[in-house]
Amino acid sequence: MNRIGSVLFEPHGPLIFRGPMEFTPFAKGPQVFARTLMLPPPSTIAGCLATLLLDKGKATLPETYGENYSSWEEPLLKVLNFEKDAFFRGPYIIVNENIYIYTI
């Protein structure tokens, strides 16, 4: 049986969602800029949820944290208490009961 859940984020200020580009706060000058993606990638949402759970004491880091994981996803799934075949869908934007998805 598949379980489905949803999470609603309500931003209360400006947000920046980094894409696969370099950005450092130490770079200065008129040629330096940061660009945001329109919506956060699923990995950003998963990281946000994991951080929230860890901060609120609802989850703990895996006992073997920092050891030889084959990807960043394995410890993240353990913090979120997801099974290996779990996945994220979205993000979606809902405005007045209309659902919008980001496409490239």
- State the SS3 of the chain: CCCCCCCCCCCCCCCCCCCCCCCCCCCCCCCCCCCCCCCCCHHHHHHHHHHHHHHCCCCCCCCCCCCCCCCCHHHHHHHHCCCCCCCCCCCEEEECCEEEECCC
**pTM for this prediction:** 0.66
Strands 98-101 and 92-95: antiparallel
pLDDT tens digits, one per residue of 46-93: 888 899 899 999 988 877 655 666 777 778 888 888 877 777 777 777
In contact, 85 and 43? CB cutoff 8 Å: no
Mean pLDDT of 89-99: 81
- In whole angstroms, give the CA distance from residue 36 to residue 33: 10
pLDDT tens digits, one per residue of 2-34: 666 777 778 788 877 876 666 666 777 776 666
- For the beta carbon of residue 77, count every other beta carbon within 10 angstroms: 19
